[in-house]
């Protein structure tokens, strides 16, 4: 029997082999060799495609920083890991490296599951109903590629999902799914008890498949969610209630599938629906449902020790910062990190900040990583205050790395929310008698702080309280095609000073969304109640202070739901209708709403948003008096997610669900 120590050595050797070998294979009969990349070698590489391995080119061009390595997902299986083209650009040279959807799906799965196998073993759990659960698992993945086939046809060679015995693409794909299921079963059967102790590393090993709109953690938690539902068989109330809700809203979501269109998921690839077909809507609604109960299943098995969890947060955050720096100074490292860590987007290619302030480094989103670091530092303060943990030299080094990443992310709102929740912790822990005073002081200081920010930025209250409407009108169809929309929009605010005037102009009502019309009507009500703040003006002022007026304004210029969509939404991770149904020509690129609350409104409508708010605040109210760290973290999460799209990334989504579930009454009864 192989000892644990020898098993560890074998796995390390296997990982190194996996990382190096596929990119180093060469044919014994080939005649071409790697050349130093400059103007003279462009034609050579364009002629000798799929013959020279990536490793050869890297070694020959070591120190050549004029190169950017990119993945060519449309390559054949035989071209995997080899150079498939070279182009000269304004900034240097772009090297195309061949990859393939089938090879990458299998290769990355084996690599990542092997890395997850380094989590220490605990008790053996025999997963039940293997045949049925594997059948459901395969069905969901096949439903995904069938529903989003437009996405895969664009970037995958020989993509074919027509069922036939000679369709080797589909047969290979099915075989890979079964291999993944088998590996999940083998690796996680002895690691369910400790799996979620290591979930902070989701921010390091992101797990998005190359050339696919899937993430390994979505598959992993779906695997556990299937187990949870099959074991409990709707015997629990929460299962009965949620399945009824899912069945009801699915009828509404499937009715939105009136056409098929390819949506460019861009940096949210792996956790967003790229299509509007019934199959894709059904897959994401069932997938998110299983994922939720999969996380719940793991939490039931795991003793989530807060000190161990914090140290994993600290180590993961330090490695994220280090990888961000490493990837920014080396084009080879940037390529390797992107592929092997499964990033949604390449690491930033320089140490300098974006637009002079933000540096996202390794992460696809500066906001998301800023919120991650805010959790790290709150847990540090909490443990120093309550557990009196000792911080050694290595921990101090990691804290410095985390602090560097936090500062460079420049997430101002994350700083403010962190300071607020730490102050809340200090007052409740040390000054219990002054809770009400703290609350009153907070209520008084908030408008004072907002007023101070407006004064510093030399902005009038009149301007700030209309900022969302101003931006909405600017990006609406009202002034489509005009050179300077701002001048025309300002005219309604200054010259006429009456937003209702726009409805006097012919056809203007048809040019603005129903949500923008709603804002205008609420901003100029027929009845004014003294001393009662105008809700639109209040939200608008807050959005201006936290720099969200433009993003939220764009949302209201586009959000034009019917009654069904308003109350039930479009379905989980579904942006297709929002981006394509109304006012789709006035905004360039993927401009997300920059609020997870707004995203929830899009996905689940007012019904889902209201229900979610009730459950969240119920958890906060329940766990508050017990001093549960997760109640503070839930407040921190809500403050952060209100102004960011972080919920659209698997790592942030799992972080939120773990915190939410651990703050619930049910988690104390497990």
Q: pLDDT digits over 332-357, tens only?
A: 888 888 999 999 887 777 677 665 56
Mean pLDDT on 418-446: 72
CA separation for the pair 345, 268 (Å, rounded): 9
Q: What band does 398 get if pLDDT is binned at 50, 70 and 90? A: very high
Residue 218 CA from chain centroid, whole number: 12
More confident: 3 or 200: 200
60-74, 82-96, 273-287 — which one is most confidently predicted on average?
Answer: 273-287
Cβ distance 156 to 73 under 8 Å? yes
The helix or strand, by DSSP H or E, that contains position 606, with its residue range, turns out to be helix 596-624
Ranges 240-244, 491-495, 635-639: which has the least confidence: 491-495
User: What is the average pLDDT value for the chain, to the nearest integer?
Assistant: 83
More confident residue, 4 or 664: 664
CA distance 540 to 156: 44
Q: Which of 486, 493, 444 is nearest to 464 (CA)?
A: 493
Supply the pLDDT for residue 669.
Answer: 41
Query: Has residue 484 got a pLDDT over 70?
Result: no
pLDDT computed for residue 463 by the predictor: 66
Three-class SS of 288-353: HHHHHHHHHHHHHHCCCCHHHHHHHHHHHHHHHHHHHHHHHHCHHHHHHHHHHCCCCCCCCCCCCC
In this model, does residue 586 exceed pLDDT 80?
no
DSSP 8-state assignment for residue 215: B
Query: Which has the minimum average pLDDT: 130-134, 152-156, 232-236, 392-396?
Result: 232-236
244 vs 430, more confident = 244
Give the separation between CA 335 and CA 350, rounded to whole angstroms: 14
Mean pLDDT within 10-36? 83
Neighbouring CB atoms inside 10 A of 462's CB total 11
Question: What span, in angstroms and rounded, lies between the C-alpha atoms of 201 and 651?
Answer: 9
Position with higher pLDDT, 667 vs 44 = 44
- Provide the greatest CA pair distance for the chain: 86
User: What is the Cα–Cα distance from 636 to 353, expressed in whole angstroms?
Assistant: 26
- Give me the mean pLDDT over the 658-663 stretch: 91
The predicted model gives 396-409 an average pLDDT of 91
Poorest-confidence range of 132-141, 238-247, 304-313?
238-247
What's residue 449's pLDDT? 61
pTM above 0.85, yes or no: yes
Lowest-pLDDT choice from 29-33, 491-495, 559-563 = 491-495
CA distances from 77 to 100, 104, 158 (A): 6, 10, 10
What is the average pLDDT across 609-630?
A: 81
Q: Residue 218: which of 131, 304, 142, 291 has the closest Cα?
A: 291
C-beta neighbour count of 612 within 10 angstroms: 14
Residue 117's pLDDT band (boundaries 50, 70, 90)?
Answer: very high
- pLDDT (mean) for 602-625: 86
Q: Indicate whether 580 pLDDT > 80.
A: yes
Ranking 128-137, 540-549, 567-576 by mean pLDDT, the lowest is 540-549
Q: What is the DSSP letter of 18?
A: H
Q: Is the pLDDT of residue 184 over 60?
A: yes
pLDDT beyond 80 at 260: no
d(CA 9, CA 3): 10
Lowest pLDDT segment from 79-88, 124-133, 470-479: 470-479
pLDDT at 32 over 90: no
Q: Is the pLDDT of residue 524 over 90?
A: no
The residue ranges of every structural domain in the chain are: 4-98, 102-192+207-301, 305-430, 459-560, 595-670
Whether the predicted pLDDT of 532 surpasses 60: no
Query: What pLDDT is attached to residue 497?
Result: 57
What is residue 73's predicted lDDT score, i.e. its pLDDT? 83
Q: Return the number of other C-beta atoms located less than 10 Å from residue 538's C-beta.
A: 13
Length of the chain: 670
pLDDT tens string 379-388? 999 998 887 7
Q: How far apart are CA 545 and CA 450, in angstroms?
A: 7
pLDDT at 288: 93
Residue 512 has a pLDDT of 83
Chain centroid to CA 597: 14
In this prediction, residue 670 carries a pLDDT of: 39
Q: What is the pLDDT of residue 453?
A: 58
**What pLDDT is stored for residue 267 in this prediction?**
87
Q: What share of the chain is helix, strand, coil (3-state, %, to 5)?
A: 65, 5, 35
Q: Are 575 and 290 in contact (CB under 8 A)?
A: no
The half-sphere exposure of 498 on its side-chain side, counting CA atoms within 13 A, is 8
Quote the pLDDT of residue 285. 92
Over 70: is that where the pLDDT of 2 sits?
no
**Does the structure show a pLDDT above 60 at 529?**
no
- Identify the three-state secondary structure at position 491: helix
Tell me, what's the pLDDT at 232?
Answer: 84
Decide if pLDDT at 531 tops 60. no
In this prediction, residue 179 carries a pLDDT of: 95
- Which residues contact residue 338 at a Cβ distance below 8 angstroms, ignoring those fewer than 6 apart? 71, 327, 346, 347
- Nearest CA-CA partner of 539 in 519, 565, 569, 515: 519
pLDDT value of residue 505: 64
Lowest mean pLDDT among 91-95, 245-249, 431-435, 657-661: 431-435
Q: Which residues, 6 or more positions from 413, have their beta carbon under 8 angstroms from its beta carbon?
A: 546, 639, 640, 643, 644
Q: What is the pLDDT of residue 549?
A: 83
Tokens of 174: 């099915």
């Amino acid at each position: 029997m192989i000892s644990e120590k020898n098993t560890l050595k074998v796995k390390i050797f296997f990982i190194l082999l996996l990382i190096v070998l596929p990119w180093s294979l060469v044919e014994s009969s080939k005649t071409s060799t790697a050349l130093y990349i400059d103007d003279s070698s462009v034609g050579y590489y364009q002629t000798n495609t799929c013959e020279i391995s990536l490793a050869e080119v890297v070694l020959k061009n070591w120190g050549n920083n004029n190169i950017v390595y990119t993945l060519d997902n449309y390559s054949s299986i035989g071209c995997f890991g080899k150079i498939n083209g070279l182009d000269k650009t304004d900034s240097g040279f772009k090297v195309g490296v061949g990859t393939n959807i089938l090879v990458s799906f299998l290769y990355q799965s084996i690599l990542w599951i092997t890395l997850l196998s380094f989590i220490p073993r605990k008790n053996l759990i025999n997963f039940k109903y293997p045949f049925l659960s594997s059948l459901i698992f395969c069905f969901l993945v096949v439903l995904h590629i069938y529903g989003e086939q437009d996405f895969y046809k664009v970037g995958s060679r020989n993509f074919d999902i027509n069922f036939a015995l000679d369709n080797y693409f589909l047969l290979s794909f099915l075989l890979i799914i079964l291999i993944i299921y088998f590996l999940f079963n083998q690796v996680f059967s002895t690691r369910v008890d400790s799996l979620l102790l290591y979930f902070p590393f989701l921010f390091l090993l992101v797990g998005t498949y190359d050339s696919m709109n899937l993430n390994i953690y979505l598959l992993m938690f779906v695997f556990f969610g299937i187990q949870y539902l099959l074991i409990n068989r709707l015997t629990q109330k929460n299962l009965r209630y949620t399945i009824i809700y899912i069945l009801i809203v699915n009828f509404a979501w499937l009715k939105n599938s009136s056409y098929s269109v390819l949506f460019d998921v861009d940096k949210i690839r792996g956790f967003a629906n790229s299509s509007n077909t019934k199959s894709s809507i059904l897959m994401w609604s069932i997938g998110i449902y299983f994922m939720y109960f999969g996380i719940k299943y793991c939490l039931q098995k795991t003793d989530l020790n807060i000190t161990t969890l914090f140290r994993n947060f600290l180590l993961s955050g330090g490695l994220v910062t280090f990888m961000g720096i490493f990837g920014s100074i080396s084009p080879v490292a940037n390529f390797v990190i992107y592929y092997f860590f499964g990033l949604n987007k390449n690491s930033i290619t320089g140490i300098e900040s974006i637009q002079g302030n933000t540096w996202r480094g390794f992460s696809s989103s500066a906001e998301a990583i800023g919120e991650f670091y805010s959790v790290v530092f709150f847990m540090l303060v909490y443990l120093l205050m309550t557990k009196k943990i000792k911080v050694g030299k290595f921990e101090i080094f990691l804290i410095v790395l985390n602090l560097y990443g936090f500062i460079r992310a420049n997430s101002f709102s994350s700083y403010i929310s962190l300071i607020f929740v730490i102050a809340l912790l200090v007052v409740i822990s040390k000054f219990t008698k002054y809770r009400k005073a703290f609350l009153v002081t907070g209520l008084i200081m908030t408008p004072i702080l907002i007023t101070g920010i407006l004064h510093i930025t030399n902005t009038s209250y009149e301007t700030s309280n209309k900022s969302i409407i101003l931006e909405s009108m600017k990006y609406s169809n009202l002034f489509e095609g005009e050179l300077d929309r701002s001048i025309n929009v300002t005219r309604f605010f200054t010259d006429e000073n009456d937003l209702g005037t726009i409805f006097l102009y012919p056809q203007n009502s048809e040019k603005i969304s129903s949500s923008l019309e709603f804002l205008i009507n609420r901003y100029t009500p027929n009845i004014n109640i003294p001393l009662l703040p105008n809700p639109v003006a209040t939200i608008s002022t807050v959005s201006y202070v936290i720099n969200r007026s433009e993003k939220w304004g764009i949302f209201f210029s586009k959000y034009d739901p019917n009654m069904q969509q308003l109350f039930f939404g479009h379905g989980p991770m579904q942006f297709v209708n929002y981006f394509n149904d109304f006012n789709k020509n006035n905004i360039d690129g993927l401009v997300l709403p920059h609020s997870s609350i707004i995203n929830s409104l899009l996905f689940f409508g007012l019904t889902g948003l209201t229900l979610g708010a009730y459950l969240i605040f119920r958890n906060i109210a329940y766990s508050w008096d017990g001093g549960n760290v997760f109640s503070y973290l839930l407040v921190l999460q809500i403050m952060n997610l209100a102004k960011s799209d972080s919920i659209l990334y698997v790592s942030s989504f799992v972080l939120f669900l773990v915190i939410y579930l651990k703050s619930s009454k049910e988690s104390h009864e497990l």
